[in-house]
Amino acid sequence: MVSEINTFDFSSLYISLPLYLVKNKLIGLIEKTFAREKTTFIVVSRYKAFFSNSKFNNCLYWSCEDVCDILCFLLDNCLIKFGKYIYKQVTGIPMGANYAPLVADLFLYCYESEFMKNLSKSNDLNLIEKFNTSYRYLDDLCSLDNSFFHTYIKTIYPKELILL
């Protein structure tokens, strides 16, 4: 039975994401994923996507470097038109971009995963159990029966992100 529920919201998550941190974290995640799969390409057909060491007809395929380059291109080339002027977004990602929710979600996952790995090294089973009842959907957090959550927020997420 749950006795304590705490909810949090990241204030201005998308527009607050520091691009250099997003690139650093997501490139690391992409590289780890390719290394874990021990493959050269991610292959995309009309019906599915999969990792492979081979190229296939009628498919698109990208190496780890290609995926990282595409990510950096998306993040570095966000242009916004306002009236007759065009501006380049230099901090954060646009909320309306198709890739924005996935990028934000993976970015936060990288920090949460790193935090949980560090907790597991400490062997503090009580604390690990408490954080296993904390959940996030995009920029909203819910923590059940975890009186420690407030104490560790600044340890989990980068200082540029503000939780309300």
Instruction: For residues 128 and 78, state if they share a domain.
Output: no
CA-nearest of 123, 127, 125 to 143 is 127
Instruction: For residues 107 and 131, state if they share a domain.
Output: yes
Instruction: For residues 14 and 33, state if they share a domain.
Output: no
Where is the domain boundary, 55, 90, 125? 90
Where is the domain boundary, 63, 90, 117? 90
Q: Name the 3-class secondary structure at 11.
A: strand
| 91 CB-contact burial (10 Å; exposed 0-12 / middle 13-18 / buried 19+) | exposed
Q: Name the 3-class secondary structure at 62.
A: strand
Instruction: For residues 65 and 53, state if they share a domain.
Output: yes
For the chain, how many structural domains are there in total?
2
pTM score of the predicted model:
0.90
pLDDT in tens, the chain (164 residues): 889 999 999 989 999 999 999 999 999 999 999 999 999 999 999 999 999 999 999 999 999 999 999 999 999 999 888 999 999 988 899 888 999 999 999 999 999 999 999 999 998 888 999 999 999 999 999 999 998 998 999 999 999 999 98
Q: Which domain holds residue 71?
A: 19-90
